[in-house]
Amino acid sequence: MDLGYARVSTAKREPDRQIDALRQVGIAPERIYVDKKSGVTTDRLGLTAALAYAREGDVIVVHTLDRLGRTVRDTLEPDPRPRRAGGGGA
């Protein structure tokens, strides 16, 4: 299943453009998770919910990679929880 994730850096900004792009590629509105927080913030409830919902084989789609985090490390490892042997973090 494809899930979507959109993030804007402040509550004053709107994620509409990202959400529209995710919907255009077939992501169901109820499967789009949104955060209005800075990328430096690790407490992103939308991303946490998307990662918790995702199962093996699911794909989390973002409009641009920088929506996952501000640094390469954040982008490559958005879930700081320890990994279990033979599987994902959640």
- Give the active site residues: 9
* Nearest Cα to Cα of residue 3 among 17, 20, 21, 22: 22
Q: Hunting for tokens 């991303």 — which residue is that?
A: 47
d(C-alpha 67, C-alpha 24), whole Å: 18
Strand order in the sheet with 32-36: 32-36, 2-8, 59-62
